[in-house]
Structure 1
Amino acid sequence: MDVFPPLPLESWRDTKETLHRFVQIVGKIRLAASPRRNHWWNVPFHLTGQGITTRPMGPIRGGDAFCVDFDFVAHRLVVRTLSGRQTSFPLAERSVADFYRDTVTALIALDIDAAPQHPYPYDLPDARRPFAEDHEHRSYDPAAVTRYWRVLSQVNLLLEEYAAGFSGKTSPVHHFWHTFDIAVTRFSEREIAPPADADPVTREAYSREVISAGFWFGDDSVPAPAFYSYTAPEPPGLADRPLHPGSAQWSAARGSHIALLMYDDARAADDPWATTLGFLDSAYRAGAELTHWERRRECPGGITDPRLRAAPAAG
């Protein structure tokens, strides 16, 4: 299989818009049915061998614990309970309204007392339209969705390797349903006072100084897939620091800057994997050096034992 196969946004934009709303529906169930973790770590999806999962949730009010999986090989939504019961339905040929109805019906059939508390899209153009009334978004190209999942899986592995180089507080590698990106975040543990007008989601996400790295599949603001990194709060001079490779650049975004390496530029490199890891490391160092992060938290190869780190490599 190719490292980073092609996935231009325009080749599956309609499918992506539908799928994004599908995963928001299930993500909101995850939000309602899981105990809160710092920085919302309880909310995103994780990767599986066939798609993405909420991970086990509940039990709720004496009911059964359950899990919801998107199977992007068989293209079905699967709901399972700890007691062994399950139900599923196809993802194709459904509008968002159909998907919402069938998901709620599946939960009821398994006696699961969980539902989105706010059944509307989050931060999307149709945020005022209930999922149950969205008959517009109904495109689902199985081949494009399988390719999305394969790209997501490769990026997941790359971000796991990147995450291994830091022993301080680090988030899991997780797939956010609200922004449809996959990310991993490093923390300095310095507390940050968010702006007074920041919304509760932002306040919790950025209550500590962070350097985040990730990948998204393209949107209206950046209409192509890209790897990214940002430091928050942004230190003065960040956008003046060099990035690697030369095709990477700092881009203005909502009053700050984000480091971007376009997916197609990474794909065109002689070694796409090493090139992307080098990009993420250069963006991390730009932020870490300006904010004076402790170098002792870095652990190349995931090794923190000083004796093992000093030993010559086996060969």
Structure 2
Amino acid sequence: MELFPAVPYTSWNPTKETIHRFAQIVGKVRLAFSQRRNHWWNVPYHLTGRGITTRPMGLTDSGEFFCMDFDFVDHSLRITHSSGAAVSFPLPGLSVGEFYRRLVGSLEQIGVPCDIARPFPYDLPDAARPFADDTEHVIYNTEHAHTYWIVLSQVNLILEAYAAQWSGKTSPVHHFWHTFDIAVTRFSDKKTQLPASADTVTREACSREVISAGFWFGDPSFPEPAFYSYTAPEPKGLENQEITPAQAHWIPLRGSHLAVLRYDDVRDTPKPRQTVLDFLGSAYRAGAGLAGWDIDAKACPGGVTCDSPAPAHSRLSDLQL
């Protein structure tokens, strides 16, 4: 299998737009039935061996729970309940409206009320149109959907390797359904002073100083996939800091700056995995250095924090546990 297969924005975007809305619908169910966590860590998807999962959820005193999984090998949505009940339906050929109705019916079939407070897209061009009325987004190319999952899974493992190099407060590696990116975020202990105009999502996500690293598939403002990093609040002069490799650069974004490395530039390098790790590491040092983080104190080479000499091997399977 190829590391970082091609995901040309123009050709796969119709499928992306459909899956993005599918993911928002299921994600809003997750939001309704999961315990709120700091920085919204309860909301995103995690990767599985066949797709993405909400993880088990449920807020009833009965102890019942359920889980929803997108399968991008068989191209279906599967809902399982702790009672043993399960229901699934195929994804190809469904409009967003039909997907919404299938989901509501499937949840009711296994005894779960579909409790979505606002059944509309979030921060998308059609945000004023209910999911149930969307017959526009219907394209689902199975090859493109499968490649989407492959790329997510490969990036997930690289972000795990990046996360392992730091021992401070770090988010899980997770796939956000609102922005359709996959990211991992490092936090300092310093509280931020956000403007009163900041929305509820941003206020919780960035309540502490953060440096976030991730990957997204592109949008109309940047129509190509890319790796990225940002520091928030942004320290003065960040956009002037050197980052690697040479193809990486800073772009202005909503009054701040984003470090960007194009996915296709990574694919052209002889060591794409290391290229991404070098990029994310350089962007982190640029932001952390200017923000005054203690970079050395939180360094965690290879995921090891103990003071004893590290073993020559690094595989967990080699350790005598």
- Normalised by the shorter chain, which TM-score bucket? over 0.9
Bigger drift between 240-249 and 290-299 goes to 290-299
Give me the TM-score of the superposition, normalised by structure 1.
0.97
Change (3 A) 1:63 1:120: farther
Bigger drift between 37-46 and 106-115 goes to 106-115
Three-state SS of the structure 1 residue aligned to 2:30 is helix
**Match of 1:123?**
123
Kindly state the Cα deviation for residue 62 of structure 1 after the two structures are TM-superposed. Answer: 3.8
Alpha-carbon displacement from aligned partner over 1:94-147 (angstroms, at most 9, x marks no partner): 000000000000000000123221100000000000000001110000110000
Structure 2 Cα separation of the partners of residues 63 and 88 of structure 1: 23
CA contact (8 A) 2:35 2:59 kept: no
Give unmatched runs, 5+ long, in structure 1.
Answer: none
Kindly state the Cα deviation for residue 314 of structure 1 after the two structures are TM-superposed. Answer: 4.9
**Match of 2:28?**
28
Kindly state the Cα deviation for residue 253 of structure 1 after the two structures are TM-superposed. Answer: 0.4
Kindly state the Cα deviation for residue 59 of structure 1 after the two structures are TM-superposed. Answer: 4.2
Kindly state the Cα deviation for residue 190 of structure 1 after the two structures are TM-superposed. Answer: 0.5
CA contact (8 A) 2:159 2:184 kept: yes
**Match of 1:18?**
18
Kindly state the Cα deviation for residue 172 of structure 1 after the two structures are TM-superposed. Answer: 0.1
CA contact (8 A) 2:66 2:81 kept: yes
Equivalent residue letter for 2:305: T
**Match of 1:172?**
172
Structure 2 Cα separation of the partners of residues 115 and 84 of structure 1: 21
Structure 1 Cα separation of the partners of residues 159 and 206 of structure 2: 20
Alpha-carbon displacement from aligned partner over 1:128-171 (angstroms, at most 9, x marks no partner): 00000001110000110000000000000000000000100000
Q: Is structure 2 residue 309 aligned with structure 1 residue 308?
A: yes
**Match of 2:224?**
224
Equivalent residue letter for 2:138: R
Q: 1:83-122 alignment to 2 at 5 Å?
A: 83-122=83-122
Structure 1 Cα separation of the partners of residues 174 and 290 of structure 2: 27
**Match of 1:271?**
271
Alpha-carbon displacement from aligned partner over 1:163-198 (angstroms, at most 9, x marks no partner): 000100000000000000000000011000111111
Give me the TM-score of the superposition, normalised by structure 2.
0.96
Structure 2 Cα separation of the partners of residues 63 and 287 of structure 1: 44
Q: 1:126-275 alignment to 2 at 5 Å?
A: 126-275=126-275
Kindly state the Cα deviation for residue 11 of structure 1 after the two structures are TM-superposed. Answer: 1.4
CA RMSD of aligned residues (A): 1.2
Kindly state the Cα deviation for residue 60 of structure 1 after the two structures are TM-superposed. Answer: 3.3
Identity of matched residues, %? 60
CA contact (8 A) 2:235 2:291 kept: yes
CA contact (8 A) 2:156 2:182 kept: yes
Structure 2 Cα separation of the partners of residues 66 and 87 of structure 1: 11
Structure 1 Cα separation of the partners of residues 82 and 28 of structure 2: 20
Equivalent residue letter for 1:165: Q
**Match of 1:37?**
37
Structure 1 Cα separation of the partners of residues 220 and 77 of structure 2: 28
**Match of 1:56?**
56
Kindly state the Cα deviation for residue 40 of structure 1 after the two structures are TM-superposed. Answer: 0.2
Three-state SS of the structure 2 residue aligned to 1:276 is helix
**Match of 1:67?**
67
**Match of 1:296?**
297
Change (3 A) 1:117 1:83: same
**Match of 1:285?**
285
Give unmatched runs, 5+ long, in structure 2.
Answer: 315-321
Moved over 2 A (4+): 59-64
Aligned length: 313
Structure 1 Cα separation of the partners of residues 34 and 105 of structure 2: 20
Kindly state the Cα deviation for residue 221 of structure 1 after the two structures are TM-superposed. Answer: 1.1
Q: Is structure 2 residue 82 aligned with structure 1 residue 82?
A: yes
Structure 2 Cα separation of the partners of residues 197 and 156 of structure 1: 33
CA contact (8 A) 1:45 1:177 kept: yes
CA contact (8 A) 2:34 2:59 kept: no
CA contact (8 A) 1:93 1:139 kept: yes
Structure 2 Cα separation of the partners of residues 34 and 182 of structure 1: 20
